[in-house]
Amino acid sequence: MSVHDVGGRRRFEDSEFTLRIYPGVIAEGTIYCPITARKITSAAEVIEQVIDRLQLDRTKCYVLAEVKEFGGEEWILNPTDCPIQRMMLWPRMALENRFSSEDYRFLLREKNLDGSIHYGNLQMWLQVTEERRRMVERGFLPQPLPKDFDDLCNLPDLNEKTLLDNLRSRFKQEKIYTYVGSILIVINPFKFLPIYNPKYVKMYDNHQLGKLEPHIYAVADVAYHAMLQSKQNQCVVISGESGSGKTQSTNFLIHHLTALSQKGFASGVEQIILGAGPVLEAFGNAKTAHNNNSSRFGKFIQVNYQESGTVRGAYVEKYLLEKSRLVYQEHNERNYHVFYYLLAGSSEDERTVFHLKKPEEYHYLNQVLEGEDLKHDFERLQLAMEMVGFLPATRKQIFSLLSAILHLGNIRYKKKIYRDDSIDICNPEVLPVVSELLEVKEEMLFEALTTRKTVTVGEKLIVPYKLAEAGTVRDSMAKSLYSALFDWIVFRINHALLNQRDLEESILSIGVLDIFGFEDYENNSFEQFCINFANERLQHYFNQHIFKLEQEEYRSEGIAWHNIDYIDNTGCINLISKKPTALLHLLDEECNFPQATNQTLLDKFKRQHEGNRYIEFPAVMESAFIIKHYAGKVKYGVKDFREKNTDHMRPDIVALLKSSKNAFICGLIGIDPVATFRWAVLRAYFRAMVAFRDAGKRHVEKRSGDQNTGVFVWRNKNYKMKPSLPKHLLDVKSLKYLSNLTLQDRITKSLLHLHKKKKPPSISAQFQTSLNKLMETLGQSEPYFVKCIRSNAEKLPLRFNDALVLRQLRYTGMLETVRIRQSGYSIKYTFQDFVRHFHVLLPEGTNQASQEAIRRYLHQVDLTPEGFQMGRTMVFLREAERQRLQDLLHQEVLRRIINLQRRFRALLERRNFLRMRQEAAVVIQRNWRLYWRGRAARRIQTVWRRHRARELYLRQRDITIRLQAAGRGYLARQRYDAILSKEGCSVKINGLITQAELYYGLGYTNQVLSFLYRLLSGGLPSTNLHCHSVYSGVERLSPPRSPDLTLQREFKENKDPSPKVKRRRSVKISSVALEPVQWQNDALQILTCANDYRSMNDFLMKKVMTVFYLNLHLLIDEHFRFSWKSTDTLTLFQVEEHNGHIFKSTQYSIPTYCEYCSSLIWMMDKACVLCRYACHRKCCQKMTTKCSKKYDPELSSRQFGVELSRLTNDERAVPLVVEKLINYIEMHGLYTEGIYRKSGSTNKIKELKQGLDTGMTHKNTIGLFTLVFKQWLRDLPNPLMTFELYEEFLRAMGLQDKKEVIRGVYSIIDQLSRTHLNTLERLIFHLVRIVLQEETNRMSANALAIVFAPCILRCPDTTDPLRSVQDIGKTTACVELIICEQMNKYKARLKDISTLEFAENKAKSRLTFIRRSMVRVKSEFHVSTDIHITQMSKTLLNRAYFWINILVGPETTFLSTFYFPSYFRGS
C-alpha cells in the first residue's frame, strides 16, 4: 500500500489514498491491486472496487484481512470498517517503506458458505512472493528503500546515488540533520519543526557527538565542552547557498550556547546576545528571490566565556552591507525589513511625528508581502532594541532617520525651462519634511541636492548637477546615511556586549560565522562579486582543513594512506585577489582614473587574463565577464562596478549633515568615535554651564521681585534624589578598544571625508582586509563545519529537489569529504598527549612516550586493526576506537577509586579495632566497678528509704492514735456529761481540745499544715513513696481514686515526646469538681460565718495537696532526666512485644494509672505504640489483653535506599526516620566532641538500619546514630540536592562575585521539589545547631561540609571520575556556603526574638503594676465595711496566707488578692 503526498501522510478528510490489496491465489499473476480510497471508505466499497478491477466471480463472498507480520495472524475487517483509518495507525516506517514492506498489508480472502475463511495453498503464496523478489532483482519492480544512516561515513556503498538516497530518505522522515563525521549537513525544510524546545536543549547537554540523533544543538554542545576542557577557542563555520537556512541555524546555535551558559541563572549578557539577533536581522536582512529572510551582510559573532563556562561578553563583526538594495530592488524582492516594520507597526502619534505614509507612496519601497504580521514584528523589534540597551529617545531618533531616508528617495528632479544645464525639484513639498527630520536648514538642503561647490585656484565655483548626477547624489546620500546608521547600531551592540575584563585578560570564545551565501541571479553586480569571493575563501578554508592539511599530515607521519583528490579553488582566489593582476586590484586602478569607463575596465580584464581558465568573456558585445567558481559559473555585469567601489558623498553634503542640530546625526558622520564622544562630553559640559548660569540669573531676579512677600521655602536636607542612569554608558577606554576592533570595517565614515590628504581605501580593499582578519581568527580556533543545503528553489515546505541538492553536494565536495572521513583518522594524539591522557590504562612503567609501548597496548585492548595507525610522532584513531578507549578509561578510573576507598576504609577500621582492643580491658574494669558501685548505692538507698519510711509510719501511727484517743475521750466525756446532766451537775475537763476549736477545725488544720510543712521542708522522703501516703494522713488512709475526667481533658498524652519541646516547670492542676461553687471563681469572698471558714479550709487543703503533688512530680522528673542523660543508651527506643502489643517507654505529663494493677504510673513507663495501652514495666508480661491494632510487619516500609517522595505525604513534610535520628542526635549528642567524625561497627549499623525499617531499635551509641544518618543520606537514589541540578551548583560556585554566587545557589535551591526542599531545610537547621556549639563539639561549618557534601551533593554516575574528584572542593564550598548563610539568618532571628521578649517583659511589668493599683483601690473600698470576726479567725486567715505563699509560691499572689481582703493581709 502507499500514501500519496510527501512523507506518506495527510490529515485532510478529503484526501485520497492508495491501498494495495494483495489477492494471493484468488487472482493468479497479480501481485497487488491498487485501489483509490478516502478515510471514510468502508471495506465493502474497497472489495467492490477490487472485484471490478480484477473481474472476480461475484457469486463468491470476499473479505479483507489485515496482516501486521509476515506469516502472522490475520485480522478480518468488518464490512463497515475503514481500511484507511486502520492503515494510519501503522508505524511511520511501514507507511514510508511501502515498496519493501512485507509486514503490514491488506489481503483479499474468500469466505466459505459456513463462514470460515478459505486461505488457499500456502505453497502458492510463497511462490508468488519468490516471483516478486525475482522481478525486483530484474528491475520490473522498484527496489526496496534501504535503511537510512545518520552518519554518511557508515554508508556501506559510497557513491552519489547512495548519498542522495540516504539524505532523501531522512528528509522525508523530517530528519533534516545528518553527520559526516564531525561535519553537520542541514537541509532547509522551509518549515518549522518542533525539535528546538527546551527538552532538546537538555537532551543534548554534555553528550558525545554521534550518541544521539544528529542536531545543531549537538555541535554547539560539543564545541562548548571542548572549549572548557582544552582551554582553546572554538568556531562554527556555517556555509551554504542563499536560502539554505544559515541565519536560522545561527540563531539556534546562539540560543543553545546561551542556554548552556545560563543553567538556571543568567548574568544579563545572554539576554543582550539574544536581543541583538532580531535587531541585526531587521536592519540587515531582506526578502530576495531565493530567501524570505536573506542576510544582506556577513556577521561573525564571538561569544566570550569565563573559565567556569558562564558567558562574559560577546562581539559582533559585520562584513559588507549591501547598500544598493536601499535604492533599487529586483522583481519579487524587497528592501530591508525595518522599513516595513516601521510603516506597519507605528502608532498614529508616531506616524504624525515621523511623517509616515503608506509603503506604496515611497519610491524606495516597491512592494509589501501580504499575510505577514508586520505589526507583531515591529513590537518584537522594539523589545529587542530595549534588551540591547537602546533608550526610547534613541529609538525615536533612529526611526526619524529611517523616515528621512524614505522621504529623501521621493525627491524627484526636472530640468529648468530655458536652461539646459540646471535642474529643479519637482516636488518641493518633500524638502521641509526631510529638513525637519534631519534638523538641517531647508535652503542648505536644496543647494546640496542640486548644486556642487568646486574650489579652484583663488575662486569658488558653484556648478549645478545634471539630471542623472542629481539622482546619483541623492541615492548616495541615502545609502551613506543608512550604512552609517547600521555601523552605529553594530557599534552600540558591541559596547553593550563588552565586558571590562575582556580589555585586560585573555578569553575563551566560541565564534559563529553567518556570512552571505553563494548567489547567482539574472543580474549580478559588484555586491554578488564580493559575496561569492567570500564564499570562495570559506570553501578554500574548508578544503585546507578537511583535505590538504590532513593528507599532508598523513604523508609526513608516514602512515599507510591513499591520496584522495578534491577540487582546489586556489586558482580562482588568486584570479580575484592576488596582486598585481588580480581583478580587484585592476578595479582599484581604474577607479583612480577620471576618464575610465566600464568598457576600459572590461578591456583591462581581458588583456590581463585572456588565457586564464577561471574567467571567460561573452562572445557577443556585452559588458560582462564570467567567473568559474567552485559552485559553478556566474556572469557579472561591470556596470556600476567603479561607482560602487568608490561610493561616497560630496563634501558639501557632508558639511550639510554636520550642520544638523541633531547630535545623533552628527555622531553618525564622525569618523572617530572617541573624538565624537569627547566633543559630545565637552558640548554637554558647556550646555550645562550655560543652563546653570541662566537658572542662577532667573533665581536672582525672582528673589529680588519677591523680596517683600515674606514667603519662605523649606527644603529637606536629608532627601537625596537617586539619579536614574541608563545602562551601557559610554566611556573612552571601551570606545578605544572597540574602535581598534572595527578599524577595518568603518567603510562609510572613511569615505565621507574626502578632504583628507590621505585617500581612503576602496570598498574592495577594505573588504579584503576584513576577510583576511576573519581567516586569521578562524585559523586560531578549532573549527566545526555546518553545511546548509537548499531543498528546493520554490521555497515549498518539505519538497526535495534531487537535481538541486545533488548540484550543491557536488560543488561542496561532499562525496570526497565523506570518503576522507570514512577512510581517514579524525582523532590525533601526539605520543606525549596520549600517555598523559591514557596513562591510567597503560601498563606500569610506561612513563616514556615510546611508539612501541603505545602500539603494544593498542594491540592488547583488541582494537580493530584498521581503526588506528601509528605515525612517527602521533597516534591516529577513528572515532569508534577513541570512544572505546574513553570507556575503558572510565571503567579503570572507577575501579581505582573503589580500591582507594576500600583501602582507606580498611585502614580506618583497623585503627578503630586496635583502639577498641586497647581500651577493652579499661572498659570492662570500669563497667565492673560501676556495677558494684551501683549495687552498693542501691543497698544504701534501700536501707535509708526503709528507715525513713519506718519513721514516717511511726509518726503517722502516733498521730492516728492521738486522734483516736482524743475522739474517744471526747465521746466518753460526752456520755459522762450526759450522765451528769441527768444528775444535775457539769464537769469541765481542762487540757483537751474545746468544742469550738474542734468545730472550727483549728486544731486539725494546724496539725495538717504543720505536718506538710515538716514534710516539705525536710525534703523528698524517697522515690518509692506514692502520693496516697499523703492522702492517708488527711483522708484517713483511703485508697487512691482515679483522677476526674475533667482533668484528663485538659492534658494530652505525649505519645512521641520531642526533645525540642521543653517541659514546663509549673503546670496548673485544678480540681474544679471538688470545690464549692463560691470558691471556683475569682470574685472577692468575705468570710462571714463558720461555714465560710470551713469551705476556705477545704480549699486551702486541696491547693496544698495539688502543689505538693506538683513539686513531687517535678523533683522526680528532674531525677529521672538526670539518670536518663547519664546513660549511654537510648531508653526511648527500648521495645517489648507481648500479645500483639509493642511497648515503648513513654513519658506521661498527667497522673495516669496502670490499666492492669490500677496503681499510679510515674513520669516514664511503658505504653503500646499501637493501641496506647498504659501499664507498668513489671506488668507488661502479666497482662492478657490482646492489642486491638495488632502490628503487622508486612505493612512496614523500607526507610533506606528508597525515593524520598515515598517517605513523605501531605501530613508529613519530612521523613519520620529523619526526624527520629535528628531529634535523638540533638538530644544526646549536640555537645559530643567530633559528633560526625565517629564511626561504628558494621554489624551494629545493619541492626540499627533494620530496626529503623521495621520500627524496632536497639541500644546504640551516639556515633552509630550519626553514621546511620549519613548512610541514609548516601543511600538515597536521588540526593537531596538532586543529580539534575549538580552541574548548576558547580557553575554557580564558579562565579567570581560572592553575592552572585549566593544568589545563584539560592536560585537553584528554589528549583528543588517540595519534598527535597523541606528535608534539606531540616538538615541545614540541624547542622546550624551543631555549628553554634562549635566550642564544645569541635565541629565547624567546614568540617560539616566535608562530611555532608558527598551525601547530599553527589555527582551523577555518568560523570567522569576524574572530574568528580576535581569537583569535591566546589561541592564542599557550596554546602559550607549554605550552612554559613543559614547560621547568619539564625543568629539574626534570635536577636530579633530577644528584642521582642525584652519588650514583652517590659509591657507585662507595666500592666502588672497598673492592675495592682486597681486592686489596691478596690481593697480600700472594702476596709470601710464593718466586720466583726474573732481573733481566732483572724489568726487562721493570716496563717493560711503565710503557708500558701511558702508552699505554692508567688503564683497564688494574684489568687489571694481576690479571696482575702487587705484588712487581713495587712496584719
309-320: b (≥16 Cβ within 10 Å) or e = bbbbbbbbbbbb
Residue 654 burial (CB count, 10 A): 20
Check whether 1022 is labelled as a binding-site residue. no
Q: Which of 817, 814, 819 is nearest to 631 (CA)?
A: 814
The C-alpha atoms of residue 649 and residue 475 are separated, in whole angstroms, by: 10
Q: Which of 915, 923, 920, 896 is nearest to 1239 (CA)?
A: 915
CA atoms within 13 Å, Cβ hemisphere of 336: 28
**Strand pairing of 105-111 and 117-118?**
antiparallel
**Strand pairing of 423-425 and 413-415?**
antiparallel
3-state secondary structure of 830: strand
**Alpha-helical segments (H) within 547-646:** 549-557, 570-577, 583-591, 598-608, 641-645
The C-alpha atoms of residue 1312 and residue 1204 are separated, in whole angstroms, by: 12
Give DSSP secondary structure letters for 224-256.
Answer: HHHHHHH---EEEEEEEBTTSSHHHHHHHHHHH
The C-alpha atoms of residue 93 and residue 292 are separated, in whole angstroms, by: 33
**Strand pairing of 105-111 and 177-180?**
unpaired
Q: Which of 744, 229, 820 is nearest to 544 (CA)?
A: 820
First to last CA, the chain: 118
The C-alpha atoms of residue 333 and residue 290 are separated, in whole angstroms, by: 9
The length of the chain, given as a count of residues: 1467
- Output DSSP code: residue 1072: G
1197: exposed, middle or buried (Cβ count in 10 Å: 0-12, 13-18, 19+): exposed
Check whether 246 is labelled as a binding-site residue. yes
The C-alpha atoms of residue 855 and residue 1451 are separated, in whole angstroms, by: 93
The C-alpha atoms of residue 462 and residue 465 are separated, in whole angstroms, by: 10
Residue indicated by cell numbers 545518520:
150
Check whether 295 is labelled as a binding-site residue. no
Alpha carbon separation from 1405 to 1065, 1148, 1399, 1401 (Å, rounded): 21, 34, 10, 6
Check whether 1251 is labelled as a binding-site residue. no
Peptide bond into 83 cis (omega under 30): no
Report residue 1258 as a C-alpha cell: 536497639
The C-alpha atoms of residue 333 and residue 367 are separated, in whole angstroms, by: 8
The C-alpha atoms of residue 687 and residue 685 are separated, in whole angstroms, by: 5
Residue indicated by cell numbers 542612569:
725
Check whether 241 is labelled as a binding-site residue. yes
Alpha carbon separation from 153 to 215, 271, 714, 866 (Å, rounded): 16, 38, 84, 15
The C-alpha atoms of residue 1387 and residue 594 are separated, in whole angstroms, by: 84
Check whether 247 is labelled as a binding-site residue. yes
Check whether 1201 is labelled as a binding-site residue. no
CA atoms within 13 Å, Cβ hemisphere of 959: 17
The C-alpha atoms of residue 1432 and residue 260 are separated, in whole angstroms, by: 94
Alpha carbon separation from 398 to 392, 470, 475, 747 (Å, rounded): 10, 26, 19, 20
Check whether 1038 is labelled as a binding-site residue. no
CA-angle at 708, arms to 703 and 710, nearest 5°: 90
Indicate the annotated binding residues for ATP.
240-247
